[in-house]
Amino acid sequence: MPVALDRRTRHDADVRDVRVTAFVSDDFPDLAARNGGMVARGIEALGARPLAVEVGDEAWTFAGDGATLTVARGIADDALVVTFDAAEFSDWVQNQRSFNNMLVARDLRYRGGTEHDVSVWDSLWLALLEGWPVVDDTLAFHDRHGDPLTLDRVFTPDDDPADIAHFLREAGFLHLRGWVDPDAMRRVSDEIDQALPNYREGDGRSWWATLDDGTRRCVRLQDFVAHSPTTAAILSGERWNRLRAVLAAGDDLVQAPVAGRCIEALIKPVGVVSGPSDVTFHRDCHLGRHAYTCSGTTMGISVTESGEANGQLRVIAGSHRVLMPVETAKTEPYLPVVAITTRPGDLTVHLSCTLHESTPPRVAERRVMYAGFHLAERGDDRPEAGSGLAELRERISDILRDGPR
């Protein structure tokens, strides 16, 4: 069955201080009863070692017994051990932060395992909290009539809106053509060049990367719409609004005002050796708060063509339905990997829960813009609750400056 866009199960108003003993005694039994079998199947399929958590002078080990997930006091001999302070643990068990969030921020403290083990438990833990399976041998892709889905299909404005909306929910992504004038992309590229002198490293509005000749290049321009009347016209146009309605298909998808950070322009140079330019497989919700905000839709507008030679978007079909660990996606993906080759003006769409990556260009620079639609706020939502994640994203350029890509 296709996944609904609105996957929100938690509310910011319910966030509280959760201590480890209270979690084990009060929260874990119900979670294990509902989702423990799903987690146990994931542990067996992925060969996951036990997970031990240390919080102050307390330690508990979570492990599969074949039928469900169990917890016991102490640290198992072969466990991945993660050390939290009280606030970190409370955030983690409420999906405010993930292991990946802590890895990116470089404050995850662990031993007895590898980054791959950490990634596996990031998925297993979200499966426990949210009932999102890590493996599913029955997963298949069908169109809305029950026939096999063609994953490389390209949709135009003349296609049935119901087919487009179904494909997005079934596969987790889309490739669209004919929704944006390709001739406008030359003007957009010129406006990127004209905007670049307005950005400097450390301005909080841009990301920078180091090339193999040692130079620093601006690779991400926030607030770009202020420099691009062509882009503003696209985002304000009737066809863009029609696309929002097609994707929503009855759900309440909202577009941000055409101002500020409603869209970003990305430059993908050849020869990047460090910095956040070509990011390997990840989910947009992988820093945390999946249960509070997903699913949003991210729209890529191809300013230049994309392909194997100059880099492209690759998505893992169905990864919004099966919680494949990110490190597994990089090495041994067990769902279809789809490379999307685009022409100028083509659009790509992916859900915030869908694994995707940008491959590095080898021959020519690539340019793309990213905008998106988000779910309408609920009455008790607190948008400021996600400010920590937003701040971490803005710091990524500095965090990765001297680290691995």
For residues 356 and 391, which has the higher predicted lDDT (pLDDT)?
Answer: 356
Is residue 63 within 8 Å of residue 50, measured between CB atoms? yes
Structure confidence by residue, pLDDT tens digits, 93-115 = 999 999 999 999 999 999 999 99
Q: Average pLDDT, whole number, for the chain?
A: 95
What's the pTM?
A: 0.95
Band of pLDDT at residue 346, cut at 50, 70 and 90: very high
Which one, of 340, 282, 354, lies nearest residue 311 by Cα?
A: 340
First and final C-alpha spacing in the chain: 36
12-130 and 161-399 have identical folds: no
Which whole number is the average pLDDT over 230-249? 97
Q: Which CATH superfamily is domain 161-399 in?
A: q2cbj1_9rhob like domain (2.60.120.620)
Name, in order, each residue with C-beta under 8 angstroms of 400's C-beta and a sequence gap of 6 or more: 274, 275, 276
Structure confidence by residue, pLDDT tens digits, 182-195 = 999 999 999 999 99
- The three-state secondary structure class of 109 is strand
Distance set, CA 60 to CA 74, 76, 256, 329 (Å): 5, 9, 43, 29
- The fold of the 12-130 domain, in CATH, is Nonspecific Lipid-transfer Protein; Chain A (3.30.1050)
Which one, of 281, 280, 353, 357, lies nearest residue 318 by Cα?
A: 353
Residue 172 Rama label (left phi>0; alpha psi -120 to 50; beta): left
The yes-or-no verdict on residue 15 having pLDDT over 70 is yes
Domain residue spans in the chain?
A: 12-130, 161-399
Band of pLDDT at residue 404, cut at 50, 70 and 90: very low
Cis (ω within 30 of 0) for the bond into 295? yes
- Please name every residue paired with 58 in a beta bridge, in sequence order, or none if there are none: 55
Residue 327 Rama label (left phi>0; alpha psi -120 to 50; beta): alpha
Residue 382: predicted pLDDT: 81
Cα–Cα distance, 383 to 353 (Å, whole number)? 19
Band of pLDDT at residue 219, cut at 50, 70 and 90: very high
Residue 5: predicted pLDDT: 96
Residue 188, both tokens: 């957009």
- The three-state secondary structure class of 34 is helix
- The three-state secondary structure class of 315 is strand
Structure confidence by residue, pLDDT tens digits, 244-293 = 999 999 888 999 999 999 999 999 999 999 988 899 999 999 999 999 99
The yes-or-no verdict on residue 8 having pLDDT over 90 is yes
Residue 41: predicted pLDDT: 98
Residue 3: predicted pLDDT: 87
Residue 113: predicted pLDDT: 97
Q: Helix count (H) and strand count (E) of the chain? A: 12, 17
Residue 121: predicted pLDDT: 98
Structure confidence by residue, pLDDT tens digits, 363-389 = 999 999 999 999 999 988 887 778 888
Q: At 135, which amino acid appears?
A: V
The yes-or-no verdict on residue 294 having pLDDT over 50 is yes
Band of pLDDT at residue 405, cut at 50, 70 and 90: very low
Structure confidence by residue, pLDDT tens digits, 56-74 = 999 999 999 999 999 999 9
